[in-house]
Every structure is written in C-alpha cells, then in structure tokens.
Structure 1
Amino acid sequence: MTLPPYAHLLGLSVEPGDGGAPVLLMPFSDDVLGRPGFLHGGAIGGLLEMAAIVALHTALESEGGGRIKPINVTVDYMRGGREKETRAQGIVTRLGTRVANVEATAWQDDSTKPIASARMNYLIVRDI
C-alpha cells in the first residue's frame, strides 16, 4: 500500500502486525516535536489517522477495494509522548457497505500503555 504524503512528512514506515493490521512506526525527530521533550499532539493525531487508514485499506483490499472519506475523528490523549519511536495500529470494528468504524492506538514502549487512542468513522465507496 502507498502511504499518503502526510505519512511521508511524519517519516512513517510500515511494520507487519501480528495477525492484524500493519503497525506504523513514527521515528522521533524535530519535525514532530511539540513542547520541549514531548511529541506534538498533531503528529500523534496524524499517526493515529494514518494507522486507521492503513487498517481500513487492508480490510477493503480483501473485499475488492474501495475509496474512503473521513466522516469524523475523535482523539483521546492519555499521556505525553516522549522523545522516542512511537507506534500505532488501527482496528476495523465495523466494515459496512457504506460506513466503516475504526479504532487506533498509539504507544511507545509498551502497547498495553497507550499514549493516545482514536475513534474514526469513514464513508466508503466500494470498487465494483
């Protein structure tokens, strides 16, 4: 899958997920720095959105493909992201004919201790 240009701006790369959707890796750099010592909230939100998009495109590919358009995005910030690599993975919770619901989680050292999570809804136009 080709990542959108914003993913390249964040320096994202794709790692295989364990049985699920791929995991996105965002390396730490000055480009994603917010206040000193912490990631910018917009970079974390962008990482979560890209993880959701990758998960949804992966799910759609198995059903013949399609295009997506975001309906809404809700991000919950749980703790400050520090100056280190950050990973995120999306999970498609509902894949309907016209709408999909996706959840994404971002973490740094331990996937059971997320720094942020998001819930997103997407409009789907399926390929025929």
Structure 2
Amino acid sequence: MALPPYAFSLGLTVEGEENGAPVLVMPFAPPVIGRPGFVHGGALGGLLEMAAFGALRARFSGDDHPRLKPINVSVEYMRGARERETRAVGIVTRLGNRIANLEAIAWQDDRARPVATAWMNVLIDRD
C-alpha cells in the first residue's frame, strides 16, 4: 500500500494487515512527541485518520481509486500514549456508493487496551 506524504512525516510504516486492512505503526520519535514522555494528540489523530483511509483504499481494486474527502472525524482519547510504538488499524463499517463510514483503533502494548479510537464519514468522489 502506498502511503500519502503526511504518513511519512509521522514515520508511519505498514506492518501487515488485519481483515484486509493495513496495520500501521508509528514510532515514538521527535516528530510525534507532545508533552514529555507522551505522543502528541494530533499525531495520534493523524495515525487514526491514515489507518481509516488505508482500510477504505484497500476496498478498491485495479483502476478504481476514487478521491476520498473527509466529511467529519471524531477522535476519542482513552489514555496517554507513552514512549513506545503505536499501532492502528481501520475498519470499514459501511461502504455505500457515495459515503463510507469508518472506524479506527490505536493501541500500544495490548490491542484490547486502545489509547484512542476514531470515527469518520468520507465522501467517495468518483467523478
């Protein structure tokens, strides 16, 4: 999967897949540091957005690569993300002709203890 330039500014890499969606990894490094010892909330939000878009892009094949335009994004921060790698994966909860509903989950050591989640609605522009 090709990542957009913003993903590279966060240092994101793909570490495999889960149910057809790429699992992204964000290292703890200077570009994502917020308060001392923690990942910045904006970096977490960016990771979640990239994971959600990655899951949606994985649903399109061949030459079918429509433009995706976010309608809204809601991030829920559940606990502080500490000084370690953070992983995220997106889930397509509904894929319509013009609108997709997405969810993304970010975690560190334990997948069952997310550090943040996000919900997105995306316009699928096929024109």
TM bucket (normalised to shorter chain) is: over 0.9
In the TM superposition, 1:95-110 aligns within 5 A as 95-110=95-110
What is residue 122 of structure 1 aligned with on the other side?
122
In structure 2, the partner of 1:17 is 17
- After superposing on structure 2, the runs of 4+ consecutive aligned residues of structure 1 that deviate more than 6 Å are none
Equivalent residue runs for 1:1-128 within 5 Å: 1-61=1-61, 64-126=64-126
Quick one: which amino acid aligns to residue 55 of structure 1?
A: A
Structure 1 gaps of 5+ residues are none
Is the deviation greater in 12-21 or in 32-41?
Answer: 12-21
Provide the alpha-carbon RMSD of the alignment.
Answer: 1.5
TM-score (norm 1): 0.94
Q: Is the 8 A contact 2:20 2:58 kept in 1?
A: no
Distance of aligned partners of 1:37 and 1:71 in 2 relative to their CA distance in 1, 3 Å threshold: same
**How many equivalent residue pairs?**
127
User: Taking structure 2 as the reference length, what is the TM-score of the superposition?
Assistant: 0.94
- 1:59 match: secondary structure: coil
For structure 2, the 5+ residue unaligned runs are none
Aligned residues with identical type, % of pairs? 65
User: One-letter code of the match for 1:72?
Assistant: N
The separation in 2 between residues aligned to 1:2 and 1:63, in whole angstroms, is 14
CA apart distance, 1:75 = 0.1
